[in-house]
Each structure stands twice: as structure tokens, then as C-alpha cells.
Amino acid sequence: MKLRLVFMMLVCIILVGCSDDFDKFNREVFEISSNINGNIYIIDEIHNELNDIIAKYSDNLTLTYAEYTFNNEYKGDAMFHYKREYNDEEGREFLETIDIYVDANGKAYKIVYTDGRINRVNDYPSNDIFNKETNILEIIKENEESFINDNDNSYITVILDENGIVIKYFKNNSLVDKKRIV
């Protein structure tokens, strides 16, 4: 009898500890092919085009984060992150996100759609983008300092969020330096 009671208590502890695993969660990846006509390095120029793309998947999401990755030819792929927080009928917090991936030629090629309990959805810690009118390609050319080299697999990422612009320098997939431009 005691063994059975201990076993039942362990099962209850495990179920309570793993309750997030049973929360609502949905992630879908869509391969797309949409051309972006504006300059992908200036968010103000492409904001409406990006909104038109995400409107096919969901409404009322806000652009909150952007990240560019540059190689040695100043070719930068981009990821634009949209999100919306909401509550269900019972007051539980949920988060819906859409990530749009765009190549250096301005072709949107992938959408990652996620919807679920706020504690299960990985999200970027930003609620807006600062400097949407800034040309990221010009910023990277001003700050590149001959850092990118094919021989050591170096690249640069530029992040736009509510705090400004962060430039991260990588060599052999390891972070070497980081600077913030406000």
C-alpha cells in the first residue's frame, strides 16, 4: 500500500512538473516565394510588403525584431520577427509569432509560424524596432573594419530591436566582438 502511494505521488509530481508539455503549441514552416521590391536593408521601405505577406497567415502582428547576416560580399540574408500576445477565454497568456526569411536578392523564401502558450513559444526579447529608416548595409560598411574573411568562416550579424542596433562579429562560428549603436 505504501509503495502504491509513493508511486502515485511520483506520477502526480511528474505530471505537474511537465504540465507545459500539454499546453497548446503549434509550429509550421512554409516555403514561399515572394519578391520584396524595396531595399531589404531599410525596414521603412519594405514594411508594407512584409505586412502584406504575413497578412496571409495572421492578423494584428507587430514587427519587433530584425536580424541580418553578412558574408564577405556584403550579401545579407534577413529575418524579420513579428509577434502578438493575447489571452484565451480563461485568461491564460498566449503568443503568436511569424518569422519571415528574405535572401540578399529580396526574395522571401520561408515563413515560420508559431502559436502557443507564452512559456512554450521562443521569442525575441524586443517589442519594437528602433531606427527603421536606417540603411543597415551602410552601417555595416562603416563598421566592417575588414573583418569578414572567407578563410576563417567569418561573418557579421546585425540586430535591430527596441534598444538600437547591435553588431556581432563571428569567426569560425564563435562570437569575437560585439558593439551597440544607438
Matching residue, cell 512559456: 119
Q: Is the pLDDT of residue 41 over 80?
A: yes
Closest CA to 62 of 73, 74, 50: 50
Q: Please, are residues 145 and 135 in contact by the beta-carbon 8 Å criterion?
A: no
* Per-residue pLDDT, 8: 66
Phi first, then psi, for residue 11 (nearest 5°) are: -60, -45
Cell digits for 151?
A: 578563410
* Ranges 20-24, 49-53, 117-121, most confident: 49-53
Band of pLDDT at residue 125, cut at 50, 70 and 90: confident
Residue 2 CA from chain centroid, whole number: 50
Q: Which residue has the higher pLDDT, 52 or 146?
A: 52
* Per-residue pLDDT, 84: 92
* DSSP 8-state secondary structure symbol assigned to residue 9: H
Domain segments of the chain: what residues? Answer: 23-181
Query: Listing from the earlier edge strand, what are the strands of the sheet with 155-161?
Result: 25-35, 107-117, 93-102, 76-87, 62-70, 155-161, 164-171, 174-181
- Burial letters for 10-21: b for 16+ Cβ neighbours within 10 Å, e otherwise? eeeeeeeeeeee
Q: How far lies 75's CA from each of 47, 103, 139, 164, in Å?
A: 20, 8, 13, 22
- Chain-wide mean pLDDT for the chain? 84
> How many CA atoms lie within 13 Å of 15's alpha carbon, on the beta-carbon side?
6
**Which residues, 6+ apart, have CB-to-CB distance to 91 below 8 Å?**
none
Q: What is the pTM of this model?
A: 0.82
Matching residue, cell 541580418: 68
What count of residues does the chain have? 182
